[in-house]
């Protein structure tokens, strides 16, 4: 006997299972029309591969899975495709969605099937392919594509089969286990084969003794020496059939927040799902039927029905003789987690386990709810170990982040809190609202984030472009330097731009030292030429000194090795510049030139000219022409005087003197 654990909280609603579990499963006659939503499962919507007017056979693929998490859909009976259009979906929102509508022809003619009588002879890959092709999804409620769970990458040591059926009223799994125990065990064996033979624990609540006996009997005749299968009878407590809760009861482990059972080495499948796996492999039949409970006091023939997927609720309710005048609340699913539907054309899908047509006083009356008194009954009941009343306050105050902080996302919406609430607050509705708003906020935040990223990307792009330009420029410079270096490589004496500059300076210096001698040798020069040359030499040395000074400052700043050498050059050049200047002045003195005096004379002339011009202008507009004219005359005289003085000074230039010998 496997040890059992308990999960936190839970409630004990009135079971009301006897209403529907007394009679064997009854097969419902073929309905005239079937409506098959393209999305009956978690994941991507399947894609229709038939067209209106086309004839399809029973079991023929009519919509194919799109992507990894998706499922195929098959025609549940033979007939013509009437339409592919929007129809009401089995969902609380009563939204419409794309459905394939089939008008059955009554022949119920099968397509060709490929049964595999001995699954152990088939490769794992082929088995997975068969199950995937058959469109098997979880039949307990969520409708997760089964094949995804069966090819878990993680090491699986326990396969949990969920036969708990903890919701009141529902008995479809109960009857299924009673009547199809052999097939369920065979289906489990296939799943074990695929998961490398983990042990299997079948969890059943102790309120289903017949099902427990049936499964144990089937087990006694079953032989699998590779892995064990055990029926675990668990206490009746809602929601023990919740995947996470059942795992905790059977293994004592909790699925980590945000994780999946495979993270703790467990795969969980519903009993109906393993039966569907059996049908898919051994009978070769795709998932086109299921067992659905019709119950509630308004149902005259309450019981379990084998129905084709796509059967309209109205057809099944009629067949079960439900008196629609007696009920105002039609629940699809159980009373704790099911949702109400208003359109009796809503089809039954792969996960529709129950239709509850309750009489008006059978279910909770629609009560005005009172204030929360924080009694804490909900906290005691919560199987997710949350603080439901705090979540309620947060949801009510629209403090969604706080709700999230209190782990709203871990709420499984089982309804235990609302069930116990003495103030009859529809707590789950508040949580759904808060979850929805959080989703909206998250998508808004996502959009905002996208715009922010887009903006930042643009800014970055602009900066990048700028930098790229800069980089290009630098690259060009480097390339040029490299070319330069290559050149230098040929001529190893030049290794450094600064050294090269230095070398150039030195070379020029030597050149210049030699040049005047050449000139002296070549031809005698006039005084003017010599004067000019001296002037130029002084200017050049000055310029060189300045340049070298700059280079020195640069080298010192960069702490270059050549700074010392440059310093010497600067010192030399300073002496040389002073020397050149001295020679120039000496020569000027020799010639009797006085540049200072000439400058002063030039200034005088310019001043006199300006005064004359000014007075001439003033004369044209002045009110006192007499006075201005006098001034003008005086100015003109001084202009002439200064011009003469300048001319005299300039003619003093000893142009006739013999060429000077350079020292």
Residues 91-110 that bind other proteins (CB under 8 A): 92, 94
Question: Quick check: 234 and 205 in contact, CB under 8 A?
Answer: yes
Nearer to other proteins, 72 or 389 (CB): 389
Among 316, 420, 573, 605, interactor with other proteins by CB under 8 A: 420
The piece of 178-186, 336-344, 347-355, 474-482 that touches other proteins (CB under 8 A) is 336-344
The piece of 210-218, 356-364, 584-592, 594-602 that touches other proteins (CB under 8 A) is 356-364
Q: Is 258 in the site for other proteins (CB under 8 A)?
A: yes
Among 4, 363, 438, 563, interactor with other proteins by CB under 8 A: 363
The piece of 149-157, 216-224, 504-512, 589-597 that touches other proteins (CB under 8 A) is 149-157
DSSP, res 468: H
* Least gap, CB of 95 to other proteins (angstroms): 12
* Least gap, CB of 471 to other proteins (angstroms): 40
E-assigned strands of 235-271? 266-270
Among 66, 328, 585, 631, interactor with other proteins by CB under 8 A: 328
Nearer to other proteins, 181 or 277 (CB): 277
- 41 CB neighbour count, 10 Å cutoff: 27
Whether the ω angle into residue 569 lies within 30 degrees of 0, i.e. cis, is: no
Q: Is 327 in the site for other proteins (CB under 8 A)?
A: yes
User: Cα 495–498–504 angle (5° rounding)?
Assistant: 85
Size of the site for other proteins (CB under 8 A): 82
Q: Is residue 153 packed enough to be buried (19+ CB in 10 Å), middle (13-18) or exposed (0-12)?
A: exposed
Among 211, 268, 384, 608, interactor with other proteins by CB under 8 A: 384
Max Cα–Cα distance, the chain, nearest Å = 147
From residue 521, alpha-carbon distances to 515, 516, 517 in Å are 10, 8, 6
Q: Is 262 in the site for other proteins (CB under 8 A)?
A: yes
Among 191, 287, 341, 577, interactor with other proteins by CB under 8 A: 341
Alpha-carbon torsion (229, 281, 204, 182), positive or negative: negative
* Least gap, CB of 383 to other proteins (angstroms): 7
From residue 300, alpha-carbon distances to 303, 307, 331, 342, 613 in Å are 9, 18, 16, 20, 128
Among 396, 432, 488, 636, interactor with other proteins by CB under 8 A: 432
* Least gap, CB of 410 to other proteins (angstroms): 5
Q: What gap in Å lies between CA 53 and CA 38, rounded to an integer?
A: 18
Nearer to other proteins, 27 or 92 (CB): 92
Angle subtended by helix axes 181-194 and 172-179, to nearest 10: 90
Among 3, 114, 257, 518, interactor with other proteins by CB under 8 A: 257
Q: Is 538 in the site for other proteins (CB under 8 A)?
A: no
Nearer to other proteins, 18 or 515 (CB): 18
Nearer to other proteins, 81 or 336 (CB): 336
The pairing of strands 158-162 and 266-270 is: parallel
Residues 389-418 that bind other proteins (CB under 8 A): 389-390, 406-407, 410, 413, 415, 418
Residues 600-619 that bind other proteins (CB under 8 A): none
Among 26, 44, 151, 581, interactor with other proteins by CB under 8 A: 151
* Coil/strand/helix, residue 200: strand
* Coil/strand/helix, residue 502: helix
Among 23, 113, 366, 483, interactor with other proteins by CB under 8 A: 366
Residues 28-87 that bind other proteins (CB under 8 A): 69
Among 208, 244, 275, 290, interactor with other proteins by CB under 8 A: 244
DSSP, res 46: P
Q: Is 338 in the site for other proteins (CB under 8 A)?
A: yes
Q: Which two tokens stand for residue 100?
A: 């394939």
Residues 447-486 that bind other proteins (CB under 8 A): none
Q: Is residue 590 packed enough to be buried (19+ CB in 10 Å), middle (13-18) or exposed (0-12)?
A: middle
Residues 7-26 that bind other proteins (CB under 8 A): 8, 11, 13-14
* Least gap, CB of 422 to other proteins (angstroms): 5
Q: Which two tokens stand for residue 656?
A: 């006739």
Q: Is 203 in the site for other proteins (CB under 8 A)?
A: no
Q: Is 314 in the site for other proteins (CB under 8 A)?
A: no
The piece of 111-119, 347-355, 426-434, 632-640 that touches other proteins (CB under 8 A) is 426-434
Write b or e for each residue in 600-624: b if 16 or more Cβ atoms lie within 10 A of its Cβ, otherwise e. Answer: ebeebbeebeebbeebeeeeeeeee
Q: Is residue 315 packed enough to be buried (19+ CB in 10 Å), middle (13-18) or exposed (0-12)?
A: buried
Among 113, 154, 448, 462, interactor with other proteins by CB under 8 A: 154
Q: What gap in Å lies between CA 500 and CA 564, rounded to an integer?
A: 15
Q: Is 387 in the site for other proteins (CB under 8 A)?
A: yes
Q: Is 370 in the site for other proteins (CB under 8 A)?
A: yes
Nearer to other proteins, 312 or 390 (CB): 390
**Among candidate residues 63, 89, 92, the one with its CA nearest the CA of residue 75:** 63
Q: Is 639 in the site for other proteins (CB under 8 A)?
A: no
Q: What gap in Å lies between CA 407 and CA 439, rounded to an integer?
A: 14
Among 342, 626, 656, 661, interactor with other proteins by CB under 8 A: 342
**Among candidate residues 203, 211, 204, the one with its CA nearest the CA of residue 176:** 211
Among 139, 193, 309, 428, interactor with other proteins by CB under 8 A: 428
Q: Which two tokens stand for residue 277?
A: 């796996």
Nearer to other proteins, 259 or 595 (CB): 259
């Amino acid at each position: 006997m496997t040890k059992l654990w308990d999960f936190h909280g839970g409630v004990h609603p009135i079971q009301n299972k006897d209403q529907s579990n007394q009679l064997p499963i009854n097969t419902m006659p073929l309905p005239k029309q079937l409506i098959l939503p393209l999305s009956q499962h978690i994941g991507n919507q399947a894609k229709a591969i038939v067209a209106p007017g086309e004839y399809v056979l029973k079991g023929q693929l009519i919509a194919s899975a799109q992507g990894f998490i998706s499922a195929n859909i098959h025609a549940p009976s033979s007939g013509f495709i009437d339409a592919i259009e929007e129809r009401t979906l089995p969902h609380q929102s009563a939204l419409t969605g794309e459905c394939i509508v089939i008008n059955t022809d009554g022949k119920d003619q099968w397509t060709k099937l490929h049964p595999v009588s001995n699954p152990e002879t088939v490769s794992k890959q082929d088995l997975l392919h068969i199950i995937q092709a058959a469109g098997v999804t979880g039949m307990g409620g969520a409708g997760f594509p089964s094949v995804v769970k069966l090819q878990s990458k993680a090491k699986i040591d326990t396969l949990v089969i969920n036969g708990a059926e903890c919701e009141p009223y529902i008995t479809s799994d109960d009857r299924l286990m009673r009547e199809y125990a052999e097939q369920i065990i065979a289906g489990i064996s296939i799943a074990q084969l695929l998961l490398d033979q983990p042990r299997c624990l079948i969890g059943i609540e102790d309120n289903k003794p017949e099902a427990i006996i049936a499964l144990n009997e089937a087990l006694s005749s079953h032989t699998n020496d590779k892995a064990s299968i055990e029926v675990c009878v668990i206490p009746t407590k809602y929601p023990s059939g919740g995947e996470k809760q059942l795992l905790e009861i059977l293994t004592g482990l909790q699925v980590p927040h945000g994780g999946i059972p495979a993270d703790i080495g467990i795969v969980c499948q519903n009993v109906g799902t393993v039966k569907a796996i059996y049908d898919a492999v051994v009978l070769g039949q795709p998932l086109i039927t299921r067992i659905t409970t019709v119950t509630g006091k308004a149902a005259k023939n309450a019981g379990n029905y084998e129905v084709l997927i796509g059967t309209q609720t109205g057809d099944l309710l009629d067949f079960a003789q439900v008196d629609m005048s007696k009920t105002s609340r039609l629940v699809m699913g159980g009373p704790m987690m099911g949702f109400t539907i208003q359109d009796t054309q809503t089809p039954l899908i792969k996960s529709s386990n129950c239709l509850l047509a309750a009489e008006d006083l059978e279910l909770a009356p629609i009560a005005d709810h009172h204030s929360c008194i924080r009694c804490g009954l909900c906290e005691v009941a919560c199987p997710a170990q949350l603080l439901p009343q705090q979540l309620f306050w947060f949801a009510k105050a629209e403090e969604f982040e706080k709700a999230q902080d209190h782990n709203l996302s871990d709420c499984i919406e089982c309804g235990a809190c609302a069930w116990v609430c003495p103030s009859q607050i529809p707590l789950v509705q508040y949580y759904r609202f808060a979850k929805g708003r959080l989703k909206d906020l998250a998508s808004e935040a996502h959009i905002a984030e996208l715009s922010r990223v887009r903006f930042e990307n643009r800014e970055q792009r602009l900066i990048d472009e700028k930098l790229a330009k800069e980089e290009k420029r630098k690259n060009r410079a480097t390339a040029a330097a490299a070319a330069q270096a290559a050149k230098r490589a040929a001529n190893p004496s030049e290794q450094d731009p600064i050294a090269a500059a230095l070398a150039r300076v030195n070379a020029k210096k030597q050149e210049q030292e030699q040049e005047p001698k050449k000139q002296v040798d070549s031809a005698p020069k006039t005084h003017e030429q010599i004067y000019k040359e001296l002037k130029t030499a002084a200017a050049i040395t000055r310029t060189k000194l300045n340049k070298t000074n700059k280079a020195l400052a640069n080298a010192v700043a960069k702490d270059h090795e050549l700074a010392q050498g440059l310093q010497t050059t600067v010192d030399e050049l300073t002496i040389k510049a002073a020397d050149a200047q001295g020679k120039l002045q000496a020569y000027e003195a020799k010639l009797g030139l006085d540049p200072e005096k000439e400058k002063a004379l030039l200034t005088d002339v310019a001043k006199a000219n300006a005064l004359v011009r000014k007075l001439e202008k003033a004369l044209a507009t002045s009110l006192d022409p007499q006075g201005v004219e006098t001034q003008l005359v005086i100015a003109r005289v001084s202009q002439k005087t200064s011009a003469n003085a300048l001319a005299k000074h300039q003619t003093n230039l000893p142009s006739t003197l013999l060429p000077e010998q350079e020292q």
